[in-house]
Amino acid sequence: MNHLPHGELNLALARHAIDRDYLSRARPELFDELWADPATRVIAMHSGQVLLQDGAESASLKLHTVEAVPSAQLRVYLGKTTEPTATEPIGTPVVLAVLGDNSAAQLQPDDSAWHTLRKSGLGLSDRDTGIFTQSLAIANWHQTHVHCPRCGMPTVVEQGGWVRRCFSDDTELYPRTDPAIIVAVTDEQDRILLGSQGVWEHNRWSILAGFVEPGESLNAAVIREMFEEAGVVVEHPQYLGSQAWPFPYSLMLGFTAKLSANSPEHIADGIEIEKLRWFSREEIAAEASELKLPARISIARAIIEHWYGGELETGTERAEGK
């Protein structure tokens, strides 16, 4: 067993190495300045996917020069890098360019060369993981806010890609993040409660999660969601850590919680959760070859391994050679 530092979560999508340089977003000629700067690099995105460097010893994002990228549907200034690479020094300006079908095909016609964050994010550096995660979240937000929610008129992009303004009434729209809690519930025997959704394949399990509702604290959301999804009463929520989950633009906040002594037996809600089961560490270890747990890029997997005390190798990863 590879032991993890006590109290520390290995959160793949919490890594970053970029200064978002928010003050520069207000400059009216920002993109003209960036396009005139030979140091500027562009991450091209199409349908939520990006390109990786060819022939690199380890996976890394392919950052293009300004001239190499075709016309984009959307540009967002991401900021300046805070870690160097062999080709980009500290302080390299990075711009997201969201491409349409024709521009993406012009840049790279091979569909298999485009990579998703779920598939390739785990193997990237801190800098590249942060750039990819930030890019996907802001691109997803833009995709769903092309019209004003008040009047339905089109919105225009401003502030370096970080504001959309209604063309009609000047309402300003800012990127939103949807907070969601995700919880490792344990009982008096220190077993962990895992659930399975009806649409999942056989023997896939995860900890329970849910969105924070308006006017609700995180602790209250933990208690409410565990009762709604599993019929259990929990207490003493303890915050563990957080990471972005840009599908489309969520923030996952990890917690532990203890089963209350007066809690009823767990009952799956039958809507989101179909099955529930308590697992001991011994059962997890004995059944690991058959279990399907969340991907390593997720906070759910990090929390399960935090409870377990080390890394787990499940049947899915063995089959994939990971």
CA-closest candidate to residue 249, choices 301, 189, 175: 175
Q: Which residues pair with 195 in a beta bridge?
A: 206, 276
Domain ranges of the chain: 12-142, 144-176, 178-313
Number of H helices, E strands in the chain: 8, 15
CATH topology identical between 12-142 and 178-313: yes
pLDDT in tens, 85-136: 999 999 999 999 999 999 999 999 999 999 999 999 999 999 999 999 999 9
Measure Cα distances from 280 to 29, 89, 190, 192, 308 in Å.
Answer: 59, 48, 7, 7, 9
pLDDT in tens, 14-38: 999 999 999 999 999 999 999 999 9
pLDDT classification of 3: cutoffs 50, 70, 90? very low
Measure Cα distances from 101 to 42, 46, 155 in Å.
Answer: 17, 7, 22
pLDDT classification of 1: cutoffs 50, 70, 90? very low
> Helical H runs in the chain?
30-36, 101-107, 117-120, 126-143, 218-230, 281-287, 299-308, 315-320
CA–CA separation, 61 vs 69, rounded Å? 14
CA–CA separation, 60 vs 115, rounded Å? 11
CATH superfamily of 178-313: Nucleoside Triphosphate Pyrophosphohydrolase (3.90.79.10)
pLDDT of residue 54: 85
Would you identify the CATH topology of the domain 12-142? Nucleoside Triphosphate Pyrophosphohydrolase (3.90.79)
Do 199 and 275 touch, CB atoms closer than 8 A? no
